[in-house]
Structure 1
């Protein structure tokens, strides 16, 4: 058996999802903010498509930020 050193859920991929008070996922109305807990970066989203686009951007940049300290500060993606 081979064990991998990489965790299945690395800390650099931990996020906080904050939904706006008018968000209603049952109706398909999704809006809010995502914050990366490792980098402090945040981005707002207005619908499911912009949420997925923002997460894709975050994952593209994750390799660049793997060594970045958590105190780097929030940088809006918009």
Structure 2
């Protein structure tokens, strides 16, 4: 059995839409199958996209603050 990377509790293996994923009953979160490289790369890409969006929002907020201070 796999252990959760967040809390180290035992995870449950699930299959949905022909994909395997793990579910932590302690964190109540789905976790990617880290033993599968396609799953890991999909997770990494998702995380990278999230971080890029967050940076864009932060930059937009800074720009808006500058506009407000100039006005």
TM-score normalized by the length of structure 2: 0.31
Bigger radius of gyration: 2
Higher RCO (CA-CA < 8 Å; seq separation 6+): 1
Task: Flag the structure with higher helix content.
Answer: 2
